[in-house]
């Protein structure tokens, strides 16, 4: 049984899941079927990944009851605004071949995201969505958003891994009992993540890999993690990060690896904002 965490609206969410960013549309069905067969129940996709249809095919074919799955998707910037966002939620539901989305996030803090949030609150009321939240909000926009919305976000998804531990945001989200969900939980392999000397050494004590240590470092602190791999043996390895516990001494050692607390993207860089506004349609 996958360990789960209770969100601020009472919904239970698996602590470890499977992410499909950069999984090609024609590979998504196979990958998600493999992931579900391996034991994953939480699947993280997004409108901007262009693979919701493949995920939907897998949901339809996997043979696991829909109530046991936990599907996350995200509204892209080009669908921001109340009406557009609402229509895009219906479109995501069609593509995902499901009556409801377990967790719906605003993907990026740009465009009319207040309108998007109202559409998400509406979808929540209608039972089309079970929980709502945001992604990539930095402290300034987070504080402003939380002050101006009725339903407090259940989840915030941020770049979070041993090198970017989000200590500042973790304090800020305590007020609303919002849970942190880690994207790039393995730092996308950067900084020698998979062969990192400290995590490799710690892993040896438990018979675990650096990847498993880095993932358990997150989930053991109640941070939801969604590692991505197209390879079944890696899916399995990443899932098996859940079957051991790091000592508090080891956790404290890994905490020292924090370098770029809030992640390595500068969300106020005009070039980055322009990129987000034009990329992915």
Ligand X SMILES: NC(=O)c1ccc[n+]([C@@H]2O[C@H](COP(=O)([O-])OP(=O)(O)OC[C@H]3O[C@@H](n4cnc5c(N)ncnc54)[C@H](OP(=O)(O)O)[C@@H]3O)[C@@H](O)[C@H]2O)c1
Q: Which residues are catalytic?
A: 49
Least distance to ligand X from the beta carbon of 265, Å? 9
Q: In terms of CB distance, is 119 or 276 closer to ligand X?
A: 276
Least distance to ligand X from the beta carbon of 42, Å? 10
Least distance to ligand X from the beta carbon of 52, Å? 12
Q: In terms of CB distance, is 118 or 228 closer to ligand X?
A: 228
Provide the token pair at 134: 């945001």
| Residue with the shortest CB distance to ligand X | 19
Core vs surface per residue 95-133: b (16+ CB within 10 A) or e: bbbbeebbbbbbbbbbbbbebbbbbbbebbeeebbbbbb
Provide the token pair at 205: 């004590």
Q: Which residues here bind ligand X, judged by CB under 6 A?
A: 19-21, 44, 107, 135-136, 157, 183-189, 194, 211, 226-231, 234, 237-238
Q: In terms of CB distance, is 23 or 146 closer to ligand X?
A: 23
Cβ atoms 145, 168 nearer than 8 A: no
- DSSP lists the bridge partners of residue 17 as 42
Residue 259 half-sphere exposure toward CB, CA atoms < 13 A:
9
Least distance to ligand X from the beta carbon of 158, Å? 8
Backbone angles phi, psi at 163, to 5 degrees: -90, -20
């Amino acid at each position: 049984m996958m360990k789960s965490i209770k969100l601020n609206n009472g919904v239970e969410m698996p602590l470890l899941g499977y992410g499909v960013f950069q999984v090609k549309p024609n590979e998504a069905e196979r990958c998600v079927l493999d992931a579900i067969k391996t034991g994953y129940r939480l699947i993280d996709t997004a409108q901007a990944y262009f693979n919701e249809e493949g995920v939907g095919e897998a949901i339809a074919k996997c043979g696991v009851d829909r109530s046991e799955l936990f599907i996350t998707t995200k509204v892209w910037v080009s669908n921001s605004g109340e009406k557009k966002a609402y229509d895009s939620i219906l479109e995501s539901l069609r593509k995902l071949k499901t009556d409801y989305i377990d967790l719906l996030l605003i993907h990026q803090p740009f465009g009319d995201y207040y309108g998007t949030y109202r559409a998400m609150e509406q979808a929540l009321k209608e039972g089309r969505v079970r929980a709502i939240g945001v992604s990539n909000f930095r402290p300034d926009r987070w504080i402003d958003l939380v002050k101006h919305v009725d339903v407090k976000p259940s989840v915030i998804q941020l770049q979070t891994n041993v090198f970017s531990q989000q200590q500042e945001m973790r304090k800020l989200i305590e007020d609303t009992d919002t849970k942190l969900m880690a994207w790039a939980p393995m730092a996308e392999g950067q900084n020698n993540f998979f062969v990192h000397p400290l995590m490799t050494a710690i892993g040896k004590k438990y018979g675990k890999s650096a990847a498993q240590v880095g993932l358990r470092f997150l989930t053991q602190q109640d941070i939801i993690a969604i590692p991505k791999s197209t390879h079944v043996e890696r899916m399995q390895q990443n899932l098996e990060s859940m079957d051991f516990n790091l000592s508090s001494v080891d956790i404290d050692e890994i905490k020292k690896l924090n370098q770029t607390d809030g992640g390595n993207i500068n969300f106020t860089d005009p070039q980055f904002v322009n990129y987000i506004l034009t990329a992915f349609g």
